[in-house]
Amino acid sequence: MMTLSLTAQILPPTAAVRPKVIENHGDSRTDNYFWLRDKVNPEVIAHLEAENRYTESRMKATEELQATLYREIVGRIQEDDTSAPTRNGEFEYYTRTAKGHQYPQWCRRRGANGAEQVLLDGNELAKGHQYFQVGVFSVSPDQKLLAYGTDTEGDEILTVRVKDLTTGQLLPDRITNANYSVVWAEDNKTLFYNVLDAAKRPYKVFRHTLGEAKPDTEVFHEADERFTVEVAKTRSKAFVFLQINSAITSEVRYLPAAKPTAAFQVLYPRVQDVEYEATHHGGHWYIRINDTGRTFRLIQAPLADPSQKKELIPARGGVTLEDVSAFADHLVITEREQGLLQLRVRRLSNGAEHFVTLPEPVYTLAAQGGPEFDTMLLRFNYTSLVTPPSTFDYDMNARTRTLVKQQPVLGGFDSKNYTSERIFATAADGTKIPVSLVYRKGLKKDGKAPALLYGYGSYGIPSEPNFSSERLSLLDRGFVYAIAHIRGGSDMGKLWHDAGKMLNKRNTFSDFIAAADLLSKEKYTQPKRLAIMGGSAGGLLMGAVVNMRPDLFGAVIAKVPFVDVLSTMMDATLPLTVGEYEEWGNPADEKAYSYMRSYSPYDNVESQAFPNMLVTAGLNDPRVSYWEPAKWVAKLRAVKKDKNLLLLKTNMGAGHFGASGRYERYKETAFDYAFLFQALGVEAR
């Protein structure tokens, strides 16, 4: 066997230059690495594998550190654990993990002291597969059948099976090419589900009757490629919904869940730029809608005549109404004000209203609800940068909460050892940008501490201040961890999203740069000790800011980065592209094209010095194709004027979300952290 020399082992791969000229609106671009899009070309796979070998060789010196970090991360989790049980009628449902096993078991018991029944064992189902996820878990109304969907490639295409929970046997029914929504009708034999088109868009809904050999019935086809369709069911169990959404427009259709062969009715016809969603209670719909203001209002409308709208809560400029959920005697309204979520509870029988009180000034929460309708208990999840994820049951009448479960953090964790705060950066246009921070107490603000700044800023998805036990491996070694709540997300409400998309997208990048500047100015860190991280659209953020201000950062982790913006948005055959015109713009429009051209990371790489960079990809990724990070790294290698690390790590058996097994995810985190220590020159004591 030939032994490679050390020099050969560490030479970075060089991708072949095969120029492809692309012309649009009089603009000519030359893409030297377009050929990397050909997944079936053995040369492409060979290049990705060469990059993986190079990354492994450059990280070899950190293997002992990776092992140490991995042991720390695993040492903080309770490997044998169960989730907080969720009640559904006479049963409690929960997941259970066992030490040494990658995947959970899905279980139930009859009451708190009942015997455990294992419904699904992820470890058994995952055997023989490099990747495994359960994407659908739906129990029939009589709780005798389970419909579940599995993904074994990471491409988010599900196969749905039905299990008899009395006998433990699988029914012969099999649904393929399904997506993430499967709903039972009340007859316990009819399933509604959505399927994907060639561009991975959920575009049709079918009705399946158990045991029938004839083809399933198509009940809806969304022809407009901007829109997706999902199936849902009201908590009242009275209606099945078709939720039809583009990025800025929506429509709801419904049918009685007890009459699955009835025709779906339109609640309100779609109106461009108007979004709405509904919940059901008694003789009324309760509807969250932005027809009179971008931040949404709450209306009530009778089932018999939804046009008779009654406003309950008006649209308000500083408060975004994010969700409405109905219980037998309560409405739970989730609002966002000054970047924080609040739960407003309205008792329907007497009109009394209050907000749930919360213990910390900066936190995040989610009203989980649960499947039960006739209950006074609201289940919600709460966490902060220093508080582990906690599940509460809140008595909506007594206004008291009970802690059901808090994620155990082993190894002597004490939240009192850490400080969290929120500071504000000033953006280029004067806007104040919140930055959430957490660090170990005793930090000296002398600019010497290493820091990791996270950002996302797209699709109206907020970057919430969540707890991470894995992150303690950084904090306990002196890191400051920061979150930039930049425009493009909805961290400060719907208007925050609007201010960072389409022709406002560059605000996202300048906001992040302002946050990075602030961390250095206030001496939390300094540029050569500052790492930044983002994934997917947050990877686009990484690519844009590193092109604009490479001097600000010592290291970059770009996870499955959406960096080839123009070429992707110009290819309507790719997954998600058409539906994202309302987030990024349609490059068929010259103004939109020119604007995207101005920031598209791949197209704006210049010959300059860049920080140390770790870039990841997933070969089966349907959201950000593997070739985007691969092309970007190839181009950076060809033009960069530095000797810093540039690593590409492609998961050859997974998709957008990386490894599926929990221990494999912990190894990925340990790898990322080891890269940070090496890239920033931080001693991992």
Q: Say how many residues make up the chain.
A: 685
The pLDDT score that the predictor gives to residue 382 is 97
pLDDT for 86-138, tens place per residue?
Answer: 999 999 999 999 999 999 999 999 998 999 999 999 999 999 999 999 999 99
**Residue range 29-51: average pLDDT?**
97
Q: H-helix or E-strand containing 523?
A: none
- CA end-to-end span of the chain: 38
User: Is residue 388 helix, strand or coil?
Assistant: coil
| Residue corresponding to tokens 């009940």 | 219
Q: H-helix or E-strand containing 498?
A: helix 494-498
The pLDDT score that the predictor gives to residue 365 is 93
User: Is residue 199 helix, strand or coil?
Assistant: coil
- Inter-residue contact 549 to 530 (CB < 8 Å): no
Q: How many CB atoms lie within 10 A of CB 667?
A: 18
The pLDDT score that the predictor gives to residue 5 is 35
Q: Decide: residue 484, CB within 10 A, 0-12 exposed, 13-18 middle, 19+ buried.
A: buried
- Inter-residue contact 342 to 364 (CB < 8 Å): no
Q: Examine the pLDDT at 541 and tell me if it is beyond 70.
A: yes
For every residue of 588-653, DSSP letters joined together read TSHHHHHHHHHH-TGGG--SS---EEEEEEETT-SSS-THHHHHHHHHHHHH--S---EEEEEETT
101, 281, 497, 656: which one is catalytic? 656
β-bridge partners, 207: 192, 217
The residues near 366 (Cβ < 8 Å, ≥ 6 apart) are 341, 380, 381
What confidence category does residue 368 fall into, taking pLDDT thresholds of 50, 70 and 90? confident
The pLDDT score that the predictor gives to residue 237 is 97
Three-class SS of 434-455: EEEEEEECCCCCCCCCCEEEEC
- Inter-residue contact 227 to 218 (CB < 8 Å): no
How far is the C-alpha of 631 from the C-alpha of 47, rounded, in Å?
A: 11
The domain limits of the chain are: 288-409, 565-600
The pLDDT score that the predictor gives to residue 9 is 53
pLDDT for 217-233, tens place per residue?
Answer: 999 999 999 999 999 99
463, 621, 625, 660: which one is catalytic? 621
How far is the C-alpha of 437 from the C-alpha of 384, rounded, in Å?
A: 11
β-bridge partners, 673: none
Q: Examine the pLDDT at 278 and tell me if it is beyond 60.
A: yes
How far is the C-alpha of 75 from the C-alpha of 292, rounded, in Å?
A: 52
For 451, list phi and psi in degrees, rounded to 5: -145, 155
Half-sphere exposure of 488 (CA within 13 A, CB side): 25
**Residue range 352-369: average pLDDT?**
90
- Residue of 613, 623, 512 whose CA lies nearest to 562: 623
How far is the C-alpha of 81 from the C-alpha of 435, rounded, in Å?
A: 33
- Inter-residue contact 624 to 560 (CB < 8 Å): yes
Q: Examine the pLDDT at 470 and tell me if it is beyond 60.
A: yes
656 included as an active-site residue: yes
Stretch among 49-58, 262-271, 352-361 having the lowest mean pLDDT: 352-361
Cα 324 off chain centre by: 21
Q: How many CB atoms lie within 10 A of CB 658?
A: 21
The alpha carbon dihedral of 506, 508, 513, 518 has a sign of: positive
384, 436, 463, 536: which one is catalytic? 536
The alpha carbon dihedral of 26, 32, 33, 37 has a sign of: positive
Q: Class for domain 288-409, per CATH?
A: mainly beta
- Residue of 303, 322, 325, 330 whose CA lies nearest to 371: 325
How far is the C-alpha of 245 from the C-alpha of 101, rounded, in Å?
A: 38
Take residue 124 and report the two structure tokens written for it.
């058994």
- Inter-residue contact 230 to 183 (CB < 8 Å): no
Considering the chain, what percentage of its residues have pLDDT values greater than 70?
99
| Residue corresponding to tokens 């961290």 | 491
Axis crossing angle, helix 537-548 with helix 506-521, rounded to the nearest 10 = 60
The pLDDT score that the predictor gives to residue 2 is 30
- Inter-residue contact 242 to 252 (CB < 8 Å): yes
What confidence category does residue 369 fall into, taking pLDDT thresholds of 50, 70 and 90? confident
- Residue of 209, 184, 185, 205 whose CA lies nearest to 195: 205
Q: How many CB atoms lie within 10 A of CB 593?
A: 20
Q: Examine the pLDDT at 251 and tell me if it is beyond 50.
A: yes
How far is the C-alpha of 538 from the C-alpha of 79, rounded, in Å?
A: 31
| Averaged pLDDT of the chain | 95
For every residue of 217-279, DSSP letters joined together read EEEEE---TT-EEEEEE-TTSSEEEEEEE-SS-EEEEEEETT-TTSPPEESS---TT--EEEE
The pLDDT score that the predictor gives to residue 8 is 43
How far is the C-alpha of 275 from the C-alpha of 258, rounded, in Å?
A: 27
The pLDDT score that the predictor gives to residue 415 is 97
The residues near 441 (Cβ < 8 Å, ≥ 6 apart) are 416, 417, 418, 419
How far is the C-alpha of 373 from the C-alpha of 573, rounded, in Å?
A: 42
DSSP 8-state symbol, 502: G
